[in-house]
């Protein structure tokens, strides 16, 4: 009897509490999540970036700004969706679908999936899919394209005791194995087959996904592709196979597939997860995704300025040259920086909550001030996601007339957001006609 598919996912938002009763978790599942959370309080660099947070008691869990899929010990999926303010009036189901669509659009340009193919047409059709099924769908359709073009093969040296002579006879082994059996030949020969590291990793990924996929179309395609790789053994040492695999000029159709293999099999680029859930949780850092999405949007939707990400690097001190600075986004002309932008995935507060500070971290103000002075800019900007409490630009002026703008960016409407940001940078002292970037009252 076929194993029952895993249950449908429950959806929560960034920073929402994980309600054990609402999620329907038993004692074992809850304890496994608590253990998982305690084991993953730091990122791969050793910085404190918990995947799941705790309250003061240390027992209640809360989502952080990692979004994606988290599975329990019994395979129950929990979707953690980004907090994105969308148009009002939509039902809860429509809001969830649209949030998935916007998130997948943002994920298209994230550095961790830069080689994967996430076509916009597929993303629009996948907004009704649970997030894990959407990722599986994209992986399988990339893999189907690979299979149609043919699996990469190579000549592999093989030693075998055969009933016929093929290749080179190994005399020592022949005497040892076949001294009394003249009907067999111990030979060495080259065999042209698909048993190579990349294919073994793909086969292992298909085997791993089989127990988590519940969508009928995905399950059918998964079975078909598993048959196509039936002659390839699963990897016995995935880490070594990953180091040994290479995508040469004859294997360019493998690039998108291997990006998904890296995601499903290793979780590379997401976080360093430990424990039982290492290969069942696909959680993405929203700070990186938002930064990459804003950078991509400025490259795509304006042509007046050249856009440079993570640079140019310059030392903060002249002598000795030390403490190198690396801006998120630089807008420049002829290689000369005009504006420095820093993308921050944080929901600013209303003036009623925090006065003129709006919840802006003071260290970010210091950082942008240092960028402006070091790079010779008159205007710098912090780019925050647009929310109902932050839908108008905020302007600060330092004593030496350096201007810092806090600009709202609507991730569901990147093109007009870029246009409004450029208009505000050009006229930092004047209100803009765009209501989303009007001066605060």
Lowest-pLDDT choice from 17-21, 189-193, 424-428, 432-436: 432-436
Q: 130 and 248 share a domain?
A: yes
- Provide the b/e sequence for 203-219 (b: ≥16 CB within 10 Å): bbbbeebeebbbbeebb
- pLDDT of 274 strictly over 70: no
39, exposed or middle or buried, with CB in 10 Å at 0-12, 13-18, 19+? middle
Of the chain, the percentage scoring pLDDT greater than 90 comes to 30
- Indicate the number of domains in the chain: 3
Q: 248 and 124 share a domain?
A: yes
> What does the pLDDT read at residue 4?
53
Rounded to an integer, the average pLDDT of 113-129 is: 72
Rounded to an integer, the average pLDDT of 124-137 is: 79
> What does the pLDDT read at residue 88?
66
Q: 245 and 185 share a domain?
A: no
- pLDDT of 144 strictly over 70: yes
- Distance of alpha carbon 102 from alpha carbon 90, whole angstroms: 15
Residue 414 belongs to domain spanning:
302-437
Q: 209 and 320 share a domain?
A: no
Residue 64: inside a domain, yes or no?
no
pLDDT band at 225 (very low <50, low <70, confident <90, very high): very high
Q: 254 and 210 share a domain?
A: yes
For the segment 179-218, what is each residue's pLDDT rounded down to a tens digit?
Answer: 788 788 888 877 767 888 898 999 999 988 887 788 888 9
> What does the pLDDT read at residue 272?
34
Residue 114 carries which DSSP code?
T
Lowest-pLDDT choice from 2-11, 21-30, 140-149: 2-11
Q: 187 and 331 share a domain?
A: no
Q: 224 and 312 share a domain?
A: no
- Name the nearest CA neighbour of 23 among 84, 71, 94: 71
Q: 390 and 256 share a domain?
A: no
For the segment 42-77, what is each residue's pLDDT rounded down to a tens digit?
Answer: 776 777 888 888 876 666 889 998 888 887 777 778
> What does the pLDDT read at residue 356?
87
> What does the pLDDT read at residue 305?
96
Pick the last residue of a domain from 137, 171, 193. 193
- pLDDT of 363 strictly over 90: yes
In terms of pLDDT, which residue wins out, 292 or 171?
Answer: 292
- Distance of alpha carbon 200 from alpha carbon 244, whole angstroms: 11
Q: 221 and 186 share a domain?
A: no
Q: Which two tokens stand for residue 330?
A: 């630089």
Q: 115 and 258 share a domain?
A: yes
Yes or no: say if 113 and 62 are a contact pair by the CB < 8 Å rule.
no
């Amino acid at each position: 009897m076929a194993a029952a598919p895993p249950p449908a996912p429950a959806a929560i938002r960034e920073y929402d509490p994980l309600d054990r009763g609402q999620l329907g978790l038993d004692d074992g599942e809850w304890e496994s999540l608590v253990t998982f959370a305690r084991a993953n309080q730091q990122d791969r660099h050793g910085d404190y970036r918990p995947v799941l947070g705790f309250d003061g008691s240390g027992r209640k869990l809360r989502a952080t700004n990692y979004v994606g899929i988290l599975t329990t010990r019994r395979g129950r999926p929990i979707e953690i969706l980004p907090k994105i303010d969308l148009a009002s009036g939509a039902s809860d189901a429509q809001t969830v679908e649209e949030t998935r669509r916007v998130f997948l659009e943002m994920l298209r340009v994230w550095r961790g999936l830069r080689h994967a193919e996430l076509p916009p047409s597929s993303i629009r059709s996948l907004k009704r899919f649970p997030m894990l099924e959407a990722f599986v769908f994209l992986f399988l359709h990339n893999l189907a394209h690979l299979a149609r073009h043919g699996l990469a093969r190579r000549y592999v040296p093989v030693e075998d005791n055969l009933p016929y002579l093929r290749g080179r006879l190994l005399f020592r082994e022949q005497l040892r194995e076949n001294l009394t059996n003249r009907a067999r030949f111990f030979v060495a020969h080259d065999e042209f087959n698909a048993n190579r590291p990349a294919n073994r990793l793909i086969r292992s990924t298909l085997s791993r996904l089989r127990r988590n996929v519940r969508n009928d179309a995905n399950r059918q395609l998964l079975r078909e592709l598993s048959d196509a790789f039936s002659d390839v053994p699963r990897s016995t040492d995935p880490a070594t196979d990953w180091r040994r695999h290479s995508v040469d000029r004859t294997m360019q159709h493998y690039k998108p597939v291997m990006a998904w293999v890296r995601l499903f099999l290793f979780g590379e680029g997401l976080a360093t997860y430990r424990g039982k859930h290492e290969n069942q949780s696909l959680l993405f850092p929203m700070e990186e995704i938002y930064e990459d999405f804003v950078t991509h949007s400025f490259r795509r939707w304006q042509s007046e300025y050249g856009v440079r990400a993570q640079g140019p690097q310059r030392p903060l001190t002249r002598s000795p040259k030390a403490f190198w600075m690396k801006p998120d986004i630089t807008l420049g002309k002829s290689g000369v920086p005009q504006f420095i932008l820093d993308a921050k995935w944080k929901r600013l507060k209303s003036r009623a909550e925090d006065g003129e500070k709006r919840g802006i971290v003071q260290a970010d103000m210091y950082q942008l001030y240092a960028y402006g002075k070091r790079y010779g800019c008159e205007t710098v900007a912090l780019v925050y996601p647009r929310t109902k409490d932050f839908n108008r630009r905020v302007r600060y002026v330092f004593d030496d007339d350096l201007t810092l703008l806090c600009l709202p960016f609507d991730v569901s409407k990147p093109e007009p957001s870029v246009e409004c940001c450029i208009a505000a940078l050009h006229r930092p002292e004047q209100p803009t006609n765009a209501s989303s970037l009007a001066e605060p009252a």
